Each structure stands twice: as structure tokens, then as C-alpha cells.
Structure 1
Amino acid sequence: MVMIVVALVLFSREDVPLETTSLVVLVLLTVGFTLFPYEGEQGAVVASDFFLGFGNRALVAVCGLMIVGQGLVATGALEPVGRFLARVWRWGPSFCLLLTLLITAVLSAFINNTPIVVMMLPILVGVAVRTGSSPAGTLIPMGFASILGGMATTIGTSTNLLVVNVAADMGMDPFDMFDFTGPVLVGGAVTIFYLWQVAPRLLPKRELPLNRGISRVYTAQIRLNKESPVVGQRLADAILKTSDAMNVDTIERGNGVFVTPLPDVELRAGDRITTSDTQGNLREFARLLGGTLFDGDQEVDAEHPLSTGGSRIAEVAITPASRLKDVLIGKAQLMSRYGLRLLAFNRMEGSEGRGSPGLDDVALRTGDVLLVQATPQRLNELKSSRDFLVLDGSVELPHTRKAPIALAIMIGVVVTAAANIMPIEVSALLGCLLLIITGCLGWKDAMGALSTQVIFIIVASLAMGTALLMTGGADFLANLFVYITFGASPAVVMASLMAMMAVLTNVVSNNAAAVIGTPIAIGIAQRLGLPLEPFVLAVLFGANLSFVTPMAYQTNLLIMNAAGYKFGDFVRVGLPLAILLWFSLSAVLIWAYGL
């Protein structure tokens, strides 16, 4: 139990990757029970059993659904929905916001809400750019609607799948796909009204996070004259004259002859130094080096200014599936791999320009927003990339001829699971195979859809839950909870459990909170001699109330940086919403189960 508390604290820390904490948990459990064998009432604890989470049916289902969801994104199967919403926003902002919330919630009940949010973000930002308004009034409501929709079915979120499967493994009758949709519909009606009419009024009109007035970056050549003071000196000395501000791309010496720009290279008259920076800085570099500024073969002057080659400035966000997560900005190769010049960087702490000290050593995270300069062609290519979400105000979405096939496969996965023809983990795996066979997804895209973070968190959470059960920790915590709430009605006990889970999920991983909370909930119900279902649902609903902090859910981070929200904006809107949903869901469960 002490180890689990430490793990939950580590899960709450932003400076420790969740994957690292998960691996630490697995190593401590397996090594600890190997060196110190334990046998309790549940039998002997076998250390290798903690690895069984890698083959758990809930994890298989989660991975399968992530790949199937990627199939919808890669083929553009959701493009008609996005294009429809982009058109209807011209009818009237209030009605269109309501329609956006409803569509987002319904889609999120069957598809992982991350691709839904990724699809909606450019649409809502595009509306804000066209109308000259702030996107702040729409992005948080849309993001919260996606979380709400995910609560409605067993496959809506990985949290739901974990709770349902852990409860079934402990002997409880398994939930069908729509068994708890009713309570969510009741609470959802109130929530949608709140997100539609109240939330936008609580949110200040924040500006987009990065200053669009930041100077563009130009590429030019500084040609050294015979009179230049740096002729005969080392390149390092020339850079020192610019206060180490000049970054040298190439040195051309003669027609088509290039010299590697090493610090000890001796500069000669006629050398052409290629560098990139703002217009003012380039002119200053040329003055300090005693050279002449050229754009191609044309000398830069009043009649021939520098040209950006038709490039545009746009904001791009790091997606949860991006391969650049945890990569240092200095090693991300933004220019060579993606054709992007970094102008500024934004995280919730604030914006920084490209020349800010230490920026190269910053590791990219989900939701980080980069102000970049690139050609229109490069930006269009990025729109089909899983590494970036382009927030350039356009609503262009990728679409392929395979889209109907991918959509049919997704519908088949949901229908076969809902009709109990086959379990969701089987139908999801079949869907993955069909996507590969039909060419909707390549293996590279399929593997890219899997999140190492999600996989490790689920496995570590299942391992902690198993350890709690085998050592009697779950029984102890259940008894402690019953003792603390002694004398309270079953309704209060159940509502208190949901509130505790809601607090926990906004601080630590919601999957960890759900897996640890499920056996405790079953233990509480058994001690009180009450039905298991309302207490398990209290854990499931409470673990999904991740509205209060931006760190509580990965889509929260994505919308936070895209709209320039502050931490307090989530508290201002999310706390009343969490209380509202907690009260309404508790009331429905109390009424439905006669507590």
C-alpha cells in the first residue's frame, strides 16, 4: 500500500514520464515478491503473474480500438462530419455550438475521444479565425463533451473497459455495452446545457497563445568582401562577433563548392555564408561581418527586399500520438524532417521565442504549440501526419477512397460487440485485421496508433490491483471506508466513493484510479450486503470526471495550449461541472438501485 501511494504521487508529477512510473511499479512488484515471497488467504503471490496485464483482455480491446480509431483518421472517414460542422457554423454560433457538442459526445461514445478532439480543434479554431473571435469559448466545452460521451458505453474510454473487465474477473456479471448509458444520458442532458449556455460565459476571451506578429524568418547569404574584417579569421570568431546569435547552415566557396561549417574553418573573400533569421538580424549580421546580403543571386536593397518564398506562418500542436513526444526541440529536426522553421514555442507556463536560452533542451509534450513558418505544401502534408495538429484556421481534412471501408469496419466492431455476437476484444482485433487486409492502414500506421504510455499505465495499474487483492489490501481499504462512513446511508457511502474517485482522477492517472478503486468498491458493497453494480459504476463514473485540471486527461492539455487557457479556466468551468455530474449521476444510481 505504501508503494501504491508512492506510485500515485509519481503519476501526478509532470516531470516524471508516466511510462517510467509504470515500469518502476512493475519492477518493484516483481522483484519485491520474488525476493520476499508472500502467501495469504488468496494463495501464494507469483511474481510473474504481474506480467499478465500485457495479455489482459481489456488491454487487447483498448489497443484494438486505438488501431481501429486510427483507421478512421488515416482514411478520413470522419471528414464528412467535420466538413458538415464547418459549413453549419455559418448558420448561427449558439445553435452550432450545441450541434458540435452533441455530435462530439455521440462520436466519443464509440471512438476514442482523442481523434475526435483532434478533428474538432482545427474546425473551431478556423471558425474563430474567420470571425475574428476567440476560440476560448468553444474548445473547453467541446473537449468536456468528448469526455462526457466516453462515459456512456463500455468501449467509450479505456477506463470503462478496465473497470468492466476487472469487475467481471472478480465474479460480477459483466456489463453489456449500453448498460449504463441511461444514467449518463440523464446527467448528460444537464451537462450539455451547462456546456452550451453557462461554460462559454465563464471563460474569458483569451488570445491565441502565440503572437502572430512575431517576425518571419528568412534565409539569405552573406557574401564576404575583400575588406571584410573576418576574412582570414576562423568561423568561430565570426560567429562571436554576432554574440553567438548567427547559425550557419552552409558555406559556399566557389560555384557549387561547399565547405563544412566547422568552427576552425578559415573564412576567405568571396565566401557565401547561408544563414536564417529575422530580417533585422540578417542585416545586422551582414554589417558586423562586413559582408553584403544576397537573396539568391539578387543583392538585397530597398527595391529588392528579402523573400520568404511564399511561406506561411501557422500554429501546430503536438498530438498525443506524436513521435516527437519527449524529444528535445534541438533534436527534433523540425527543418530537415518536416520543413518547419520554429518561430516560437508555447506551453501552459507561457510563450518563448525561437532564440530563448535553453529552448533546444526542452522536451516536447502533448499539447505543446509551436509557431512555425513553412510552405503551404508542407503544411498540407502535415495535416495527414500523426505528429502535428495544424491550427492554421483552415478546415481541410484528409479523405481517401478507403474511408467507407474503414467506417464500415468500425460500425461492424461496435455492432458485433453490442449484440453480444463476440466480445469487444475479439471484434476489435478482427477489425484491425480487416483494416490491414483492405489497405486502410499500413503496419507502420497501425503500430503508430498504439500508445506506449497507455499500455504501460494499464499493465502497471492491473499489477497494483492484483497486489492489493492478493495481500488483502483491497479488503483492508474497503473495511476502512465502511468504518469511516459507519452509520451513513448506503446512498451516502456510494456517493462518497464516487466523489473520492473524482478527486483522485484529477490528480493521478484515471486508469490507475479506476483499477485500484474497483476491487475496493466491490469489497464495500459486499460488506454492506448491497448490489455490486452501483458501487462499481460509482468508480467508473468518478474516474471519468476528469474536468477540473488540465493534467487530468490528455485532451485537456491539447485544448489548453491551443486556445491559450490558464489552469484556473479549467477549475472555473470544470469544478462546477464535476459537482453537477457527481450529484446527478449519484441521484440516478440511488434511484435506480433503491439505495
Structure 2
Amino acid sequence: MWALPETVQMWAVFAIVAVGVYLYVRERFSIEAISVGLILALMVFGNLFVSPDNGLDTATLLSGFAAPALITIMALLVVGQGMFQTGALERMTMAINASLDKQPRRTLALVFGIAFAVSMFMNNTPVVVMFIPVLAAMSGKLGVNASRFMMPLSFLCILAGMTTLIGSSTNLLVNDVLVRTTDMSLSFFTQFVPGMTLAMIGAVFIIFMAPILIPDRESEEPILQASGQQYIAQIRVTPGHPLDGVEPTVGIYPRLKDVTVRMVQRGETSFLPPFEATLQTGDVLIVAATRSQLSSLLKTRPQYLRGMLDIGNFSLDEPVSDSAIMLSEAVIAPGSRMIGRNIEQIGFRRQTGCLVLGIQRRSRMIRKRMLDIRLEAGDVLLIFGYERDVAGLRRNRDLILLDWSTAELPDIRRAKAARIIFVATIAAAALSLVPIEIAALGGAMGMIAAGCLNIRQAVRALDMRIFLLIGAAFAMGLALERTGGAEFIGTNVVDFIKPFGTQALIAAVFLVVAVFTNIISNSAAALLFAPIALSIAEKADIDPIIMVLTVIFAANCSFATPIAYQTNLLVMGPGHYRFGDFARFGIPLMLLLWVSYVLLVPIFFGL
């Protein structure tokens, strides 16, 4: 080992961090490759050129991979995947989508407003997890990319965290430094007036500038283009079914306004439109609907799902933990042995393990029971089954499985359990019953144990980009801290600005903390600069509360990079963002809040 002078060590770390941030912004290489390269460079440098006294060894640099923040984010991704796999938010999403048709702007404002209000009084990380699937569904309904909504969601929740003491873990960390260093403490609403003022300024910026500065990012995954052709399908009204006892209005059933009911079969009696009969248990409805419409029915309530599967004796009572539920399409092949026979005669369920939900025939309109339809070459079957059984259809010579049409369906049998686990996770974190990392990890394990998702689905929810990005961010922050780089910048900037007055000094502290919070994360920046700010307050004869609040507001300006705060990392995947997208939108927002705070400091604190 060749230990370099401490000053040289510090500047070398500055160079490594600068190169890393430059590579992240340029995006010439993948985030994963840059993150691994950064960690490797710091490990080589720390082991060869840094004295052991500085503590920049391999174990220290890799400690970020065991950090509570990383465990929290990974676990919350699994919790969110559990909500998605069970369609736990489907009914709420459908209610919001129904409102979107009539009042899209008001509905969007309401959703963002609720997210903001809730983030004022609880940790904003679970709030973002809660609203990601809601906004993803809303973006699909409005026909826009999810990137339009995900970054504003994260930023608004961060802004809300500025307003109260418990709005962000950063606020509590800084208050803890204040309590340990002085005999003072922040109350719950000490920061409310300046915090809410900055939050409102930031919110106005987001509303007007998001459409301009946030790029449209489309999903890199193939998008299933659903056919507009209609299938003939059947729904049995089972005991307790939502359709039991429904009366027709103007000849149609209002509960099924999105599908066309062509016939109601009651025993040997058939009812044709316009309908006058009140539905009752045992009725079989013959409906015409697109794949999208049938999927919506399957994802709304378990009773609809059971009513559609009851006809084919498809049992969902015994969960299959290692296989997801799939929806796919298959074409009757020319020369197929199925031609001229109906589904029951074929014994389709017994042969394949799958169920035919609907039959599509372009040649003419069919008004008969689906099970009575004799198949023809070219008919398209809408297939429902477990993943392993659907995959087995590839070997069936009588069918041509359309692989591109295969999609996973939410297992809504577990929706209630998923909601309970989700609420318990959020409540435990929000009420500080346990640390958020314990609540999140417990929620993730609960989702798996309750069958809301299997291990394969849980692993798929873990984003390797986020994992490596957080590890690299911790390594950079530790390197800057251990070599004295952060303190060097803070102290020198303040010493240079001090002769220009108190307002200029506050402006310098805010800007330095805001820049560092986007490089080494907000919690690290807050813990690093809170003692420095209190020392500055003592030397410059400034109220310590003013300097502490300056650090809090600046540390919450974590908008310019995805590594600055965990909610940015959470929305990075759903929004399909690149590293530079945060800088493009976040840097102007950060500078706006900096200028606004500096100009309003005399009003806030009577300077």
C-alpha cells in the first residue's frame, strides 16, 4: 500500500466522484456498469492509496449494500408487486378512471393533492409506493406515458415532507443533531410556514413546467395490443354474485354496460334483448365483449372471476404457488381435430388444464351458449389458465398459441390479504411502531407468505439498477466523508461568503447542502452538514434554529438525481426515466427553491 497525503486523497476522491456523475448524466454506459465501475474504482483507491486510519476499506465501501435504506426500497418494491399481482387497487383505480372520463383535470389534482396531504404526516416513501400503481393506471386511461406523472409524484411528496417534523426522516435526523448539540428542539410545526411556502412554490413550478421539461419515456417492454374484435363468453350468476337480483334498465343490465349481453339462459328458457327479467342465481349470461373488457371483469371482483370460471369447472380454491394465472389467445389450426366439435365434446379443460373463456369468429354474429358453438378453423379462443398449462399449449398440434398475446392476470383471490398487509406495513412505518426497514421487510415477507406473489415474482420486482445505484451512492458519500472532502467544501465556501452578511451566508449553506444532497443522498448530506451549520451559527451569531431549518430545506431539495432520495429511485422504473431526466427537471426546481428561500429569509425569520 502506498498511502497518499490526505489532501491528495481528498482530491482524488473528488475526481472519481466527478467522473462517476458525468458518466451517469451522459448515459454512454448502463447505470449498472457505471455503478459497479465506481465501486471498484473506490475500492482499489481505498485499499492502495488511503491510510487504514481513514477507514476507507472494502468492507466500509460495500456497507451500502446492507444499508437500511436499500433494504427498505427493495422490500417496498416487493410489497408494491404484491399489490399489483393481486389487483388490490383495481377497484379504486376503476373508480378513478371512471371519474377521469368526466373530469380528468380535477381527478388528477385530487390524487396528487391526497398524496401531498398524506406525505405531510407520514414517511413519504410508502405514500409513493401506494400511488405508483394508481397513477400508472391513470396514465394508461388518459393515453399518456407514465413518465408524465411519476416524477411529479415523487417531487410533490418530497415537498410535502418539508412542512412538518415527521414529514421526512431527514427532518428527524437534523433535529436529533440539534438536540444533542444544544438545549433546543424543533416542534412539530416549527418549519410549517416556510416549508409550506416553499412547497407551494415548488408545486406551481411542477404544474406548469412538468409538461415541458419531463420527456416522454415509453416502456421498453413490448406492449400488448389488444384486438378490438369481440368474443362470445359466458358468465354464471353464482350465489353472492354482484349480478344476483339486478334488474334491467331500458332493456339492458347497467352493471354490464361495458359488454353486450346477447342472451340470458335460465334452465331451458332463453331471454333475448331487450331484457325484462331480473337476474337470479343459476342464470347464464351469453355476452359479447373484447378481451380488454373481459379482463376488466376478471380483475374487479372475485365473484365475477368465479362466475366466469364456474362454467368450465375451473377451481381456484387450491392455490398454485409456483405458477401465475395467465390469459392468452390460440387459433384453431387447419385440419385440427377440434373442428366441428364444441368445447365440452373436446374435453378441453381435461386435456389442457386450461379453460376457454371466449370464442371469437369474425364471419358472423353468434347468439348461442358458448359451450354449444361448434368450432371452425380460424376461430380464436381466449384461454385462461396457470402459466405452466398455457405454456403446454405450444406442443398442441390442434392449436396455434399466440405467444405475443400471453399476459399475466392479477390473482384477485389474494387482494384482500394484500390490502391488509399493505395497510399494516404503512401504519407500522407511519406510526413509528417499528423502523421503516423492519415494516417494509415484514410486509414483503407477508406478501409471499400469504400467497400474494411467489418467489419468482418477488425476485422479478427487485430492480438491479436501483440496487447497484444505491450501493454506489453510499460508497461515494462515505469516500467524501472519510477523506474530508465534504467538510472542506462546506467550510471554505462559508468562510468565503461570511463577510457578505447573514443572508449571503444562509444562501451559501443552502446551496452547498442542496448540491451535496443530490450526490450523497439527503440523509447523508443532512447528517454531514447539520453540525457544520450549528458551528457556523455560533461563529456568526445566528439563531441555530434558522441554520438548522436551512439544512432541512436544502437537504430536502433532492430533485436533481435519482440517488438523492429513495422515492426518486422508486419512480425511476415505472416512469422509465434515465439518469439525466432528473437533472433536466430537478435542477431548475432546486434553484427556484434556493432563490425563493434566500429572498424570503428576512420575512420568515425577521432578519
Give the deviation of 1:76 after TM superposition: 1.9
Q: Does 1:22 align with 2:30?
A: no
Q: Does 1:429 align with 2:441?
A: yes
Separation in 1 of the partners of 2:378 and 2:596?
Answer: 56
1:510-521 matches, cutoff 5 A:
510=518, 512=520, 514=522, 517-518=525-526, 520-521=528-529
Aligned residue in 2 for 1:120 = 135
After superposition, the Cα gap between the structure-2 partners of 1:110 and 1:208, relative to the gap in structure 1 and judged at 3 Å, is: closer
Separation in 2 of the partners of 1:105 and 1:165?
Answer: 21
Which residue of the other structure, out of 88, 95, 101, is the alignment partner of 1:77? 88
Contact 1:191–1:577, Cα closer than 8 Å, also in 2? yes
Give the deviation of 1:38 after TM superposition: 0.6
After superposition, the Cα gap between the structure-2 partners of 1:187 and 1:77, relative to the gap in structure 1 and judged at 3 Å, is: farther
Separation in 1 of the partners of 2:473 and 2:216?
Answer: 37
Separation in 2 of the partners of 1:310 and 1:52?
Answer: 55
Aligned residue in 1 for 2:152 = 144
After superposition, the Cα gap between the structure-2 partners of 1:19 and 1:523, relative to the gap in structure 1 and judged at 3 Å, is: farther
Q: Which runs of 5+ in 1 are unaligned?
A: 129-134, 218-254, 257-306, 312-335, 340-373, 385-397
Which residue of the other structure, out of 88, 95, 111, is the alignment partner of 2:126? 111
Separation in 1 of the partners of 2:40 and 2:216?
Answer: 44
Give the deviation of 1:487 after TM superposition: 2.6
Give the deviation of 1:594 after TM superposition: 7.7
Give the deviation of 1:553 after TM superposition: 7.0
Q: Which amino acid aligns with 2:103?
A: G
Which residue of the other structure, out of 477, 485, 488, is the alignment partner of 1:473? 485
After superposition, the Cα gap between the structure-2 partners of 1:161 and 1:88, relative to the gap in structure 1 and judged at 3 Å, is: same
Which residue of the other structure, out of 20, 27, 31, is the alignment partner of 2:44? 31
CA RMSD of aligned residues (A): 5.2
1:144-293 matches, cutoff 5 A:
144-153=152-161, 185-192=196-203, 195=206, 198-199=208-209
Aligned residue in 2 for 1:542 = 557
Aligned residue in 2 for 1:522 = 530
Separation in 2 of the partners of 1:209 and 1:63?
Answer: 21
Deviations 1:555-579 (A, max 9, x none): 5796589xxx9x99996x8776555
Contact 2:31–2:465, Cα closer than 8 Å, also in 1? yes
Separation in 2 of the partners of 1:96 and 1:171?
Answer: 42
Q: Does 1:378 align with 2:405?
A: yes
1:480-559 matches, cutoff 5 A:
480-489=492-501, 491-499=503-511, 510=518, 512=520, 514=522, 517-518=525-526, 520-522=528-530, 524-529=532-537, 530=544, 533-544=548-559, 555=571
Q: Does 1:454 align with 2:469?
A: no
Give the deviation of 1:545 after TM superposition: 5.4
Aligned residue in 2 for 1:53 = 64
Q: Does 1:8 align with 2:21?
A: yes
Structure (1 or 2) with the larger CA radius of gyration: 2
Q: Does 1:439 align with 2:466?
A: no
Deviations 1:359-412 (A, max 9, x none): xxxxxxxxxxxxxxx979926x25x5xxxxxxxxxxxxx461322322222222
Deviations 1:64-104 (A, max 9, x none): 22222222222222223311210112333332232233245
Deviations 1:330-366 (A, max 9, x none): xxxxxx99x9xxxxxxxxxxxxxxxxxxxxxxxxxxx
Contact 1:61–1:428, Cα closer than 8 Å, also in 2? yes
After superposition, the Cα gap between the structure-2 partners of 1:15 and 1:205, relative to the gap in structure 1 and judged at 3 Å, is: closer
Separation in 2 of the partners of 1:164 and 1:459?
Answer: 23
After superposition, the Cα gap between the structure-2 partners of 1:112 and 1:98, relative to the gap in structure 1 and judged at 3 Å, is: closer
- Secondary structure of the residue that 1:487 maps to in structure 2? helix
After superposition, the Cα gap between the structure-2 partners of 1:115 and 1:418, relative to the gap in structure 1 and judged at 3 Å, is: closer
Q: Which runs of 5+ in 2 are unaligned?
A: 1-13, 228-334, 337-376, 382-390, 395-400, 538-543, 563-567
Give the deviation of 1:149 after TM superposition: 1.5
Q: Which amino acid aligns with 2:494?
A: V
Give the deviation of 1:433 after TM superposition: 1.9
Contact 2:154–2:571, Cα closer than 8 Å, also in 1? no
Give the deviation of 1:414 after TM superposition: 2.5
Contact 2:76–2:129, Cα closer than 8 Å, also in 1? no
After superposition, the Cα gap between the structure-2 partners of 1:34 and 1:545, relative to the gap in structure 1 and judged at 3 Å, is: closer
After superposition, the Cα gap between the structure-2 partners of 1:417 and 1:586, relative to the gap in structure 1 and judged at 3 Å, is: farther
Give the deviation of 1:428 after TM superposition: 1.6
Contact 1:152–1:180, Cα closer than 8 Å, also in 2? no
Deviations 1:411-462 (A, max 9, x none): 2222223333211112222222222211122111222222222222222222
Which residue of the other structure, out of 75, 93, 96, is the alignment partner of 2:107? 96
Separation in 2 of the partners of 1:171 and 1:124?
Answer: 45
1:323-362 matches, cutoff 5 A:
none
Taking every aligned residue pair, what percent have the same amino acid on both sides? 22
Separation in 2 of the partners of 1:54 and 1:188?
Answer: 32
Contact 2:510–2:551, Cα closer than 8 Å, also in 1? no
Aligned residue in 1 for 2:77 = 66
Deviations 1:102-147 (A, max 9, x none): 245467734374774454244334335xxxxxx48x9636641343
Separation in 2 of the partners of 1:142 and 1:472?
Answer: 36
After superposition, the Cα gap between the structure-2 partners of 1:475 and 1:202, relative to the gap in structure 1 and judged at 3 Å, is: closer
Q: Which amino acid aligns with 1:24?
A: G
Deviations 1:27-83 (A, max 9, x none): 22222232234155xx55443222222222222222222222222222222223311
Separation in 2 of the partners of 1:546 and 1:61?
Answer: 19
Separation in 1 of the partners of 2:48 and 2:581?
Answer: 46
Q: Where is the helix percentage greater, Structure 1 or Structure 2?
A: 2
Contact 1:545–1:578, Cα closer than 8 Å, also in 2? yes
Q: Which amino acid aligns with 2:108?
A: L
Q: Which amino acid aligns with 1:111?
A: P
Separation in 1 of the partners of 2:432 and 2:73?
Answer: 18
Separation in 2 of the partners of 1:125 and 1:216?
Answer: 13
Give the deviation of 1:208 after TM superposition: 10
Q: Which amino acid aligns with 1:32?
A: F
Separation in 2 of the partners of 1:434 and 1:425?
Answer: 14
Q: Which amino acid aligns with 1:65?
A: L
Give the alignment's TM-score, normalised by structure 2: 0.53
